[in-house]
Structure 1
Amino acid sequence: MADHEPRLKVLHIITRFILGGAQENTLLTLIGLRGHPRYEPLLATGPAIGPEGSLLERARSENIRTVLIPELVREISPWNDWKALRYVRRLIREIHPAIVHTHSSKAGIIGREAAHRENVPAVVHTIHGPPFHPREKPWRNRLYAFLERRAAGQSHAVISVADAMTAQFLAQRIGSPSLYTTIRSGMEVEPYLAQYDRDALRSSLAIPPDAFVVAKIARIAPLKGHEDLLNAAAEARSACPSLHLLLVGDGELRISIEALAAKLGLSSAVTFTGLVPPSRIPELLAAADCLVHASYREGLPRAVVQAMLSALPVVVYNVDGAPEVVSDARTGFLVAPGDVHGLAASVQKLASNPSLAADMGRSGRERVRNDFDWKEMVRRIAALYDRLL
């Protein structure tokens, strides 16, 4: 592009800009595109309501133009959804983006509909996780699949963060294979490779220096598996009395999870950090011995990649994109969803065999350190934009 030509506007739309994997992915994409010679990124999002924090201030501090759409909410709300659609259409007419790039299901449906009606030259959607899943109500799954089929017809490209996302969407007859491209969810790799003072970190968290620390990084919300982890920890402590849980995050189920920990006699063996900025995740992982990710629904589990970058072995429910990252019995253990005994046995195996845990951690770091760099993610997304225009 010649120096005198204006950059092409790329409008990213996401339902909520909370502390979460999809949101961190989107933020790093915006930051990467901010310095791109051809593209100028903008962000539109609904309100970040609730205990799950917000990344809006980080986006604004990075000089990303942001627009708040009050009616863009996660819940099904025909009146709000209609108003959000009108808002996005007005925004598109105002800024004239060359590309609309949507994230998450609600923003994906509304954003692509608006872009289609306003004849935006290129419409892209990223699947961070499917809206339909086995634990959802059947009528909702049917509705979500129908809406995603319609939106796929309004899309010029769909990015999947894992091959499993593409397979699940194609199984629901959503789009054709040529529509999909897999681009791994990137992250800032360097902080996870750094050295930290583990003893000082544990002391600051009031965790005993000789504890076997099991970390979990997730919103404390339905389907994230905190209940399973607590029950597995109660079982594993009979063989590993030094086991200590480090739960990073907050959410709507915090009070009930604290109550379950007390009921299981684990209160003194669980540390709740509450919300923390993403920049603290590397040092918190440095205080741990392994990570357990017992989520029932995931695109590509970002926390698992972060733990592997930190050279930690991982124990992960075998759902969605997990087996694309974790090599069972080599970089950690894949466990069937809901298998609490399997979680407990895997944690016990790591706690009782430090050399195995260390080998798995080293193998995991080598597996992911090159494929999940955020700059490579941005490069591939920009290359996709180039092909579409």
Structure 2
Amino acid sequence: MTSVRYAGSPLDTEAPLSVALVGCVDDAHQADDLGALAAALGKRGHAVTAYIRHQGEQTLSAAGYQVHAIGLGRAAPVPAGDALAASGELAAALEDAWRHAVPDVVHAYGWLPGVAAQLAARRHRLPTVQSFHGVAAPAGPTADRARLETALARGAAWVTVASSADLEVLSRVRHNRSSVSLVPAGVDAERFAATAERAVDPHCRIGCLAPNDRLYEDVSRVLRVLPALGDSRLVVGTTGPAGRPDGADRKALQQLAAELGVAHRVTCLGHLRTDDVAKALRGVDVLVSTPTAAPDPGVVLAAMAGGVAVVAHDVDALADVVIHDVTGFLVPPHDVRELTVALKRLQSETFRREGMGAAGRTRARSRYSWDQIAVDVESAYRQAVRATI
């Protein structure tokens, strides 16, 4: 079915848009981010419907945007090679929904929603915005995923990426940079703000909150430098989908801590939900984030919003978020010496640590608030509409 669309109001920079957000929510963090963006766009006057591949019923959220849960079973990850087959049913559901409520623009997060959204949008002649994250990872995507991402990037009216590194990659894929924009991750600064003065503790408390599929990889790096950090304490927590097994990693980390003689200086908080992350960050003086590729900067942004200084690997989105020697320190991946030096400086220089925390809080609120991200996303929407009409 071809929908009749008028070229007037969507082009007006003041006119509200009808927006279809398409995503697969397979963990609480993704759900929080999608909901936060939808709410921020709603505050700007846009009519937003989030189409989620999950079991449920259509409801009106308290934040003032629609949630349309498409009942295609559990929202489990799908291999890139199976994306075309898996996306067919989702595309059919979207096409049916848009017969009754035609959006001005369609915004897809991830490649599976992207395939379905572009299939359904093409039938209605709707402009699409495709968001990517982590395409510049050094290991690179699988061959299937690389082909799929190339097709999605070239098929969308506009593309957004989460880091400067991704911007370079997608600009080459599309053969120009004019229809690709950088839209970073956002943070709810109020949710992660420090609620009171930090408790006085004679020991520097270093936090390492790692995704549960990278628990050993990330935490072991910090554990190995802990003996060089005087009497500093290490606070460990895991993020990511609940229920993902990480028992073997926990056991290996406990053994490593014992071998290094620092087990008594390590506290493990277990799996953390979003509110748990906020509480954990209020109990540390420094956050360290040491992924080697495609990091989700969410925890780093949360730490900055709470006034916590950050030591992070100089990769992908983290290289954009953390301003070296201002909001924290950026260190090269696998450089144990630089990681140790950075942590030692923050351990011993309380004034520097607090100053970096204050600078990070200002940066998180001004550049990465969801209100600001909504402004960036709205600009991409209007560019996509202009490119399509």
Q: Secondary structure at the match of 1:195?
A: coil
Contact 2:49 2:68 in 1 (8 A): no
**Deviation of the 1:30 alpha carbon:** 1.4
User: Residue type matched to 1:87 in 2?
Assistant: L
Identity rate, percent: 18
Change (3 A) 1:348 1:160: same
Which moves more between the two structures, 157-166 or 77-86?
77-86
Contact 1:250 1:274 in 2 (8 A): no
Change (3 A) 1:315 1:57: farther
The one of 216, 219, 231 aligned to 2:211: 219
For residues 240 and 106 of structure 2, what CA distance do their matches in structure 1 show? 31
Q: Which runs of no fewer than 5 residues in structure 2 stay unpaired?
A: 1-8, 10-15
For residues 175 and 203 of structure 2, what CA distance do their matches in structure 1 show? 49
Contact 2:189 2:365 in 1 (8 A): yes
2:68 paired residue number: 66
1:259 paired residue number: 251
User: Residue type matched to 1:328 in 2?
Assistant: H
Q: Which runs of no fewer than 5 residues in structure 1 stay unpaired?
A: 2-6, 49-55, 203-208
Residue 135 in 1 paired to residue 139 in 2?
yes
Contact 1:98 1:122 in 2 (8 A): yes
For residues 353 and 55 of structure 2, what CA distance do their matches in structure 1 show? 41
For residues 57 and 256 of structure 1, what CA distance do their matches in structure 2 show? 40
How do 1:52-131 residues align onto structure 2 when only pairs under 5 Å count? Answer: 62=63, 64-68=66-70, 69-70=72-73, 73-76=76-79, 81-95=84-98, 96-116=102-122, 118-130=123-135
For residues 179 and 204 of structure 2, what CA distance do their matches in structure 1 show? 45
**Deviation of the 1:179 alpha carbon:** 1.4
2:161 paired residue number: 160
- Superimposed CA distance per residue, residues 262-293 of structure 1 (whole angstroms, 9 cap, x where no aligned partner): 11215543333344442443332121010011
Contact 2:164 2:317 in 1 (8 A): yes
User: Residue type matched to 2:78 in 1?
Assistant: E
Aligned pair count reads: 362
Residue 232 in 1 paired to residue 222 in 2?
yes
Contact 1:193 1:309 in 2 (8 A): yes
User: Residue type matched to 1:105 in 2?
Assistant: W
**Deviation of the 1:106 alpha carbon:** 2.8
User: Residue type matched to 2:171 in 1?
Assistant: L
User: Residue type matched to 1:326 in 2?
Assistant: V
For residues 58 and 268 of structure 2, what CA distance do their matches in structure 1 show? 24
The one of 14, 19, 31 aligned to 1:10: 19
**Deviation of the 1:180 alpha carbon:** 0.7
Change (3 A) 1:299 1:248: closer
Change (3 A) 1:154 1:238: closer
User: Residue type matched to 2:137 in 1?
Assistant: H
**Deviation of the 1:316 alpha carbon:** 0.6
Contact 2:87 2:115 in 1 (8 A): no
For residues 158 and 359 of structure 2, what CA distance do their matches in structure 1 show? 34
Contact 2:234 2:265 in 1 (8 A): yes
The TM-score normalised by the length of structure 1 is 0.80
- Superimposed CA distance per residue, residues 189-242 of structure 1 (whole angstroms, 9 cap, x where no aligned partner): 22444433544xx9xxxxxx44322113342114xx643433432432244233
Contact 2:160 2:380 in 1 (8 A): no
Residue 149 in 1 paired to residue 157 in 2?
no
How do 1:168-207 residues align onto structure 2 when only pairs under 5 Å count? Answer: 168-171=169-172, 173-174=173-174, 176-196=176-196, 198-199=198-199
For residues 59 and 198 of structure 1, what CA distance do their matches in structure 2 show? 38
User: Residue type matched to 2:166 in 1?
Assistant: M
For residues 233 and 152 of structure 1, what CA distance do their matches in structure 2 show? 40
